[in-house]
């Protein structure tokens, strides 16, 4: 006579065992891929540093491959982009780069990892090196849930509902805000005061807000690409940019 409880436990153990084996294989494959990426990356880094007197590091390049920059990403979509996990120690010596740029990337890290990334940026920048960070503005996102909305907020809500929410879904602002947090793997959104605090804690000084595509440093002008994907008006509405220097 069969024992239903024993059979259930056996099936449960079997499925857990299968899952554990599959996960172990996935991690093994990922480790193998990352090892190959690191080996290829190291050669790309050596060549870049050898060929460029002014050294510029881009974090989270995605498809925005900038000429004259060492473009990096956790999942490189292009052979010109090298593998780099920005949540870990950077594979560079101290005071290697003149400039660092990151657009819509830091919000994909939890706060503590984002702060660690900024500290690594400070470490690998030269004296008086400059960092430029573009990221969604939490103040603007939260403002979408206000009881009264201005024309720009209403336009953004209508656009986001049309582009990203399933057909028939209510256009209440809460749906748009929740989607912005969830849909692209965002982990932590900053407002300007908090990002300023994080940059200060990481050791940066002379923190200033910049307009998108604008900078008093020529190499940091016209390098944002997010507007090409969501529209320049939407990008200017949801994004803010800070620059800072090392002491």
**Annotated domain spans of the chain:** 1-51, 52-135+190-219+240-247
pLDDT tens-place string over residues 46-66: 999 999 999 999 999 999 999
Of residues 125, 142, 231, 218, the one with CA closest to residue 180: 142
Backbone angles phi, psi at 86, to 5 degrees: -70, -10
Give Cα separations from 236 to 33, 47, 103, 213, 224 (angstroms): 37, 36, 13, 10, 11
Distance CA 135, CA 9 (A): 48
Model-level pTM?
0.84
Query: pLDDT band for position 30 (50/70/90)?
Result: low
pLDDT tens-place string over residues 81-131: 999 999 999 999 999 999 999 999 999 999 999 999 999 999 999 999 999
pLDDT tens-place string over residues 7-26: 555 555 555 655 566 656 65
pLDDT of residue 183: 85
Collapsed DSSP state (helix, strand, coil) of residue 67: coil
pLDDT of residue 71: 97
Mean pLDDT, residues 145-156 taken together: 95
Of residues 133, 135, 129, 136, the one with CA closest to residue 58: 133
Query: pLDDT band for position 40 (50/70/90)?
Result: confident
Cα 25 to its chain centre, rounded Å, is 27
Supply the CATH classification number for the domain 52-135+190-219+240-247.
3.40.50.150
CB 129 within 8 A of CB 97: yes
Collapsed DSSP state (helix, strand, coil) of residue 102: strand
């Amino acid at each position: 006579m069969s024992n239903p409880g024993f059979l259930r436990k056996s099936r449960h153990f079997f499925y857990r065992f299968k899952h554990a084996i599959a996960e172990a294989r996935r991690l093994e494959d990922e480790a193998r891929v990352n090892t190959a990426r690191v080996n290829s990356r190291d050669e790309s880094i050596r060549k870049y540093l050898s060929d460029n007197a002014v050294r510029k590091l881009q974090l989270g390049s995605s498809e925005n491959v900038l000429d004259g920059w060492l473009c990096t990403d956790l999942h490189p979509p292009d052979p010109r982009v090298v593998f780099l996990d920005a949540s870990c120690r950077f594979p560079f010596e101290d005071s290697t780069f003149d400039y660092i740029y990151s657009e819509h990337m830091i919000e994909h890290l939890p706060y503590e990892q984002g702060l660690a990334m900024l500290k690594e940026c400070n470490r690998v920048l030269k004296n008086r090196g400059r960092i430029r960070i573009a990221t969604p503005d939490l103040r603007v996102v939260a403002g979408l849930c206000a009881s009264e909305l201005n024309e720009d907020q209403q336009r953004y809500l209508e656009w986001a509902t049309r582009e990203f929410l399933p057909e028939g879904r209510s256009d209440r602002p809460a749906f748009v805000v929740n989607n912005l947090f969830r849909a692209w793997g965002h982990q932590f959104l900053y407002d300007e005061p908090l990002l300023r605090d994080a940059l200060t804690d990481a050791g940066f000084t002379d923190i200033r807000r910049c307009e998108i595509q604008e900078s008093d440093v020529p190499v940091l002008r016209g390098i944002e690409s997010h507007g090409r994907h969501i529209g320049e008006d939407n990008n200017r509405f949801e994004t803010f940019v800070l620059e800072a220097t090392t002491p």
